[in-house]
Amino acid sequence: MRRALIAALAACGGGTPPAAIEGHAALPAARATPAPSITWIDNGFETPGLPAVARDGSIVVLAIHAEDGGRGAPNLTLVVKDRHDTAIATVPVLGVDEAEAMFDEHGVTPALRARIQAANERLAALHGRHDLVPLPAFTVDRWRVVHGEQEALPAEERLAASGDDLSVVWKAGRLTIDDRAHQLVNVATPGSWVVQDRPMCTTCTETCHNAAFLGAVEGDARRRLVVLTISYTGTDTCWEPSSQHHVVAW
């Protein structure tokens, strides 16, 4: 009897594991990196791990900070995009017009803390499903050599970046991406990436011009995509519009 019992226990403990109980989802696999997260620190949001890309390259998760003219109010929205640059999910955390209502004499209100927690739970769920990994930042060209001296490029001439063995150039409405041996992308970009000139006010004769440039570039050659941040110049009388963020894949 004892030998039979031991044999039965051994049979239960070895071989193929039992099937999952019907109606219970399988737990996500363990991840090699932590989930991206957001925290409030010193009048601003920190977003370690963002932007992030799914390990299979299917989605990108972005942390979007809108410009707010002279106020500069803190704000944050999480946006999930697919490889075609289509936003498939948006998670508002703090709007530009909500800052006063979301802070009090003690700092962050419980309502904002709840939003931050909900956003982090959403990021954890995305990580569990897609295995998110951080997108490496590229180096945007910000300097040139003139008569043997290095000088800063004007913002509107910051149109090239490099990283992860890729070279990115956005100029005159055309985007090219090369690796060390081949041209991978050569496409005209939409006119909406550039902000059109406009009068400074309804009765003004002066024109407001916001030149576009590469504010940042992140990318992953292995997953065949880059994220371009198109930013704009501005002045005290012609505030810069919020940056645009575009996924380009090949």
Across the range 179-201, mean pLDDT stands at 96
- Within 8 A by CB and 6+ apart from 114, the residues are none
* Among the listed residues 123, 127, 158, 126, the one whose alpha carbon sits nearest the alpha carbon of residue 140: 158
**Residues 81-113: pLDDT tens digits?**
999 999 999 999 999 999 889 988 888 999 999
Question: CA separation (Å) from 133 to 54, 154, 155, 163, 174?
Answer: 6, 33, 30, 17, 29
* Among the listed residues 137, 134, 44, 59, the one whose alpha carbon sits nearest the alpha carbon of residue 94: 44
pLDDT, residue 30, reads 81
Average pLDDT in the chain: 89
pLDDT, residue 211, reads 97
Question: CA separation (Å) from 230 to 62, 68, 87, 104, 204?
Answer: 14, 16, 16, 34, 27
Question: CA separation (Å) from 122 to 94, 118, 174, 198?
Answer: 15, 6, 35, 39
**pLDDT(140) > 50:** yes
**Residues 8-40: pLDDT tens digits?**
333 333 443 434 334 444 445 689 899 999 999
- Coil vs helix vs strand at 139: strand
- 10 Å CB burial of residue 86 (0-12, 13-18, 19+) is exposed
How far apart, in whole angstroms, are the C-alpha atoms of residue 164 and residue 11? 51
**Residues 45-84: pLDDT tens digits?**
999 999 999 999 999 999 999 998 767 789 999 999 999 9
How far apart, in whole angstroms, are the C-alpha atoms of residue 206 and residue 186? 36
Tokens of 30: 């363990």
pLDDT, residue 60, reads 98
Instruction: Name residue 137's amino acid.
Output: A
* Residue found by looking up tokens 């090369």 in the block: 178
